[in-house]
């Protein structure tokens, strides 16, 4: 029986060439799988037909936009997931949902190998292969760009020699990955970390320096889930899409960061994630109102570790799964409204309200009606500072 390979297919030059390249290198039949995570671009049916025209024996396409939003982006919002305190895991979140569909296709078509188009120096090779091995340890993985030295020049030459139905002459100076949660841009002149980004690289956001009217928005959450925008019910996907438009129009969510890649190198990345930044900002503020102090303090460490695991490709790991249980529990009371002003590249919280609020006006006020018994504070301070006071006395003796 002929070996079968399931290929993560984007419809672009590299993965189109991979179809014939894999067949020639391994003698296997190739099944192409394209997954829509809100990246836009070509129609899925066009992509499917191109895969077949490039030599795939089967081609599957999956509209995973709601799945991606509900099962991958939403947990990131609940965990306030910002790698290195800034990056909302745009690419890292999309890889496990693609992996899930690749593994399902491999089982359906009797394939023993899964292939992807990643290089050998990025994070995505780890995310694909660690994810695949976690869901299906029996499957093997290959990466033609990495394993067979499939350079861009070789890919173009192969496409022209085989007369593949794919453009080979146009080459963007950037490497771009995008989905509904955001957009990542790297390489080209950005590899010199002194060079400032130019306006041409952005698509999801407008220039925040341009004068425009501010936009006020109210986001409603229920147990950490965004359920309404300005009082109108939305799905998670719709919440992200609407805030991509509104926050993006105000230049919100632009990030220029030198980040620590999993493989050990530092890489300069430019991101646009207007909806993600707006939602995480609002969610963090509602947590400030509704989550008890010690739980909130501890959750910040859990959030950071959760984000690191996802960035590192450990979506299906036992630790990430366990931490997600904690995050879910911590979000049980994160319900209410957050009002934000979107303007000048910033999403600024201006109001918050919740029936689950732990904010007590009568305890917080300094005016008449204050119910806080200030006479208790003196004794509290004595006990709270006692251990440090005793240590200080010892140090003075020394």
SS3 275: helix
Per the listing, tokens 């220039």 go with 207
Active-site option among 4, 14, 177, 335: 14
Of 271, 334, 323, residue with least CA distance to 300:
323
Taking the C-alpha atoms of residue 364 and residue 261, their distance in angstroms, rounded to an integer, is 44
354 carries an active-site annotation: no
Of 286, 310, 328, 373, residue with least CA distance to 95:
310
Taking the C-alpha atoms of residue 29 and residue 102, their distance in angstroms, rounded to an integer, is 15
14 carries an active-site annotation: yes
Contact between 8 and 116 (Cβ < 8 Å):
yes
Tell how far CA 146 is from the center of its chain: 24
Taking the C-alpha atoms of residue 186 and residue 172, their distance in angstroms, rounded to an integer, is 11
Active-site option among 48, 50, 65, 95: 95
Per the listing, tokens 């306006």 go with 199
16 carries an active-site annotation: no
Contact between 28 and 113 (Cβ < 8 Å):
yes
Taking the C-alpha atoms of residue 179 and residue 91, their distance in angstroms, rounded to an integer, is 8
Active-site option among 175, 296, 317, 357: 175
175 carries an active-site annotation: yes
Q: Looking at the DSSP assignment, which residues form a beta bridge with residue 178?
A: 183
DSSP 70-129: IIIIHHHHHTT--BTTTB--HHHHHHHHHHHHHHHHHHHHT-SEEE----SSSSHHHHHH
Active-site option among 16, 36, 124, 267: 124
As annotated, the active-site residues are: 14, 95, 124, 175
């Amino acid at each position: 029986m002929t070996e079968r390979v399931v290929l993560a297919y984007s419809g672009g030059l590299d993965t189109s060439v991979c179809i014939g390249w894999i067949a020639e290198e391994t003698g296997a039949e190739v099944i192409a799988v394209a997954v829509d995570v809100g990246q836009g671009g070509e129609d899925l049916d066009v992509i499917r037909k191109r895969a077949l025209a490039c030599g795939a024996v089967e081609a599957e396409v999956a509209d995973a936009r709601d799945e991606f939003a509900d099962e991958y982006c939403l947990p990131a919002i609940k965990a306030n997931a910002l790698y290195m305190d800034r990056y909302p895991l745009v690419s890292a979140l999309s890889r496990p949902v693609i992996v899930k569909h690749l593994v399902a296709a491999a089982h359906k078509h009797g394939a023993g190998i899964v292939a992807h188009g990643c290089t050998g120096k990025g994070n995505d090779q780890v995310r694909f292969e660690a994810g695949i091995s976690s869901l299906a340890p029996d499957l093997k993985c290959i990466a033609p760009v990495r394993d067979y030295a499939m350079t861009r020049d070789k890919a173009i030459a192969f496409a022209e020699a085989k007369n593949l139905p794919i453009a080979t002459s146009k080459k963007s100076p950037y490497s771009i990955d995008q989905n509904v949660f955001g957009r990542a841009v790297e390489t080209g002149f950005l590899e010199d970390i002194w060079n400032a980004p130019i306006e041409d690289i952005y698509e999801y956001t407008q220039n925040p320096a341009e004068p425009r009217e501010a936009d006020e928005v109210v986001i409603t959450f229920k147990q950490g889930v965004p359920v309404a925008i300005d009082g109108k019910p939305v799905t998670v996907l719709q919440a992200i899409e609407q805030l991509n438009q509104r926050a993006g129009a105000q230049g919100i969510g632009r990030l220029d960061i030198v980040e620590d890649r999993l493989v050990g190198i530092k890489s300069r990345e430019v991101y646009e994630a207007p909806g993600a930044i707006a939602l995480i900002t609002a969610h963090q503020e509602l947590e400030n109102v509704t989550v008890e102090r010690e739980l909130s303090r501890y959750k910040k460490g859990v959030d950071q570790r959760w984000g690191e695991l996802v960035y590192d490709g450990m979506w299906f790991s036992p630790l990430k799964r366990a931490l997600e249980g904690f995050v879910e529990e911590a979000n049980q009371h994160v319900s209410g409204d957050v009002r934000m002003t979107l303007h000048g590249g910033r999403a600024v919280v201006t109001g918050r309200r919740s029936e689950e609020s732990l904010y007590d006006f009568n305890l917080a006020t300094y005016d008449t009606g204050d119910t806080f018994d200030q006479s208790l504070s003196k004794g509290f301070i004595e006990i709270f500072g006692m251990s440090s006071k005793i240590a200080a006395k010892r140090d003075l003796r020394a």
